[in-house]
Amino acid sequence: SLSMMALKVVALLLSFAVIALGNVSPPHGHSAPVPTVVIDLDLAPEDRWTAVVKPYTAALAPIINYVKNEVPAAVFDIIEPLLGDLDAYLGKPWASEVKSVATATGYDLGEIVLMNLFYDVTSACTSVVAQTHNGSIIHGRNLDYSLPNLANITVKVNFTSQGQLVYQATTYAGYVGALTGMKPGAFSISLDQRDTNATILDNIREAFFRGGHSVGFTIREALQHNRTFEDAVSYLASVDLISVEYIIVGGITADQGAVLTREREDAIDIWRIQSPKQWFLVETNYDHWKPVPADDDRRGPANRFLEQYDSSNITMGALKKLMNTYPNLNGDTTYTTLMSAATGFYQVNTQNNP
């Protein structure tokens, strides 16, 4: 439909507002735990976030203002008439959840839609999956953004059904997608931005002719519906996306760790843990088979740190130390999540707090 086409143009314009990677500054301030909120999946999508996001209304203002300043004014003109057809573009139930955030906070629906798309295209990150002595997998991730005030809206979300935990995610209040999450007893997922030289023509082709999905909603879809590590890997390797990404997946038993290098259509590479030789994988924002740029080498220090260990003595404590060490922890890191689907461990700390 015309509205779908126009909203894809919006996503395309947003994809040019990508953070410039490189020259990471040292961290400042301290780490702090985040609040845990509960989203009841048994509620209608339009009711799920209401109570959760309302208290964050004021804290969202600097983020929304930042996005409005970064995005060309023409985007708002395109988006305004299309908001009645959000189901077609964002898909169900995500459109209803996004609408509920706008209703609960009183912000313009267009602003909330743009904020939800903006997070998909503007991050830098480090993700690590490693196999421990008993074959279980540990997974750490730092999410780096240059947006202001994100620590104030970072939350750990427990998604429940019939009172039982279904999956967990780390997100920002008002963003209904997930860039980091875990289904206990099954798998964990993190998303790293892929820095490519995609041409404007590539992006336009995607915007007009393909049914790409927002990656944040796609990860929630996987957490909600995929049952096993291999289910998640095959779904996340094949679903159409609106942007190119790395998706890092950890499982629960030996060799269940993978980095998916994604084009919009599908994965062009699936790099797996193959113990004992390849017992960990480090992904930052560059294809793992290519060298990283000299001004943004977070991969080398992470590899050297992990090479001090092996599968028999790596621990969550050691992984936590890595994720809290420069340059993997840097001045843009908004949060660190440590998780293990095998044990159900899920810990989130914001970084660079004053």
Q: Is 85 exposed, middle or buried (0-12, 13-18, 19+ CB in 10 A)?
A: middle
Residue by residue, what is the 3-state secondary structure of the chain?
A: CHHHHHHHHHHHHHHHHCCCCCCCCCCCCEEEECCEEEEECCCCHHHCCHHHHHHHHHHHHHHHHHHHHHCCHHHHHHHHHHHHHHHHHHCCCHHHHHHHHHHHHCCCHHHHHHHHHHHHHCCEEEEEEEECCCCCEEEEEEEECCCCCHHHHEEEEEEEECCEEEEEEEEECCCCCCCEEEECCCEEEEEEECCCCCCHHHHHHHHHHCCCECHHHHHHHHHHHCCCHHHHHHHHHHCCECCCEEEEEECCCCCCEEEEEECCCCEEEEEECECCCECEEEECCCCCCCCCCHHHCCHHHHHHHHCCCCCCCCCHHHHHHHHCCCCCCCCCEEEEEEEECCCCEEEEEEEEEC
pLDDT at 24 over 60: yes
**One-letter amino acid identity for 59?**
A
- pLDDT score at 9: 65
- pLDDT score at 199: 45
- pLDDT score at 74: 73
Report which listed range, 22-26, 67-71, 101-105, is most confident.
Answer: 101-105
Lowest-confidence segment of 70-84, 98-112, 208-222 by average pLDDT? 70-84
What share of the chain in percent tops pLDDT 70?
88
- pLDDT score at 289: 97
- pLDDT score at 200: 39
pLDDT at 29 over 50: yes
Q: Model confidence over 177-187: pLDDT tens digits? A: 999 999 999 99
- pLDDT score at 91: 82
pLDDT at 162 over 60: yes
At residue 203 the predicted structure's pLDDT band, cuts being 50, 70 and 90, is very low
Mean pLDDT of 107-129: 85
User: Among all residues, which ones are annotated catalytic?
Assistant: 125
- pLDDT score at 178: 96
Integer Cα distance of 215 and 260 in angstroms: 13
Model pTM score: 0.93
Mean pLDDT of 84-96: 85
Please provide the average confidence, as pLDDT, over all residues in the chain. Answer: 89
- pLDDT score at 11: 62
What share of the chain in percent tops pLDDT 90?
71
At residue 286 the predicted structure's pLDDT band, cuts being 50, 70 and 90, is very high
Mean pLDDT of 154-178: 97
At residue 201 the predicted structure's pLDDT band, cuts being 50, 70 and 90, is very low
Mean pLDDT of 123-132: 93
Integer Cα distance of 269 and 103 in angstroms: 41
- pLDDT score at 197: 61
Mean pLDDT of 47-75: 90
pLDDT at 67 over 50: yes
- pLDDT score at 208: 41
Mean pLDDT of 105-113: 93
- pLDDT score at 3: 62
Q: Model confidence over 254-263: pLDDT tens digits? A: 999 999 999 9
pLDDT at 191 over 50: yes
Residues sharing a CB contact under 8 Å with residue 152, sequence separation 6 or more, in sequence order: 56, 59
- pLDDT score at 19: 46
Q: Which residue has the higher pLDDT, 43 or 69?
A: 43
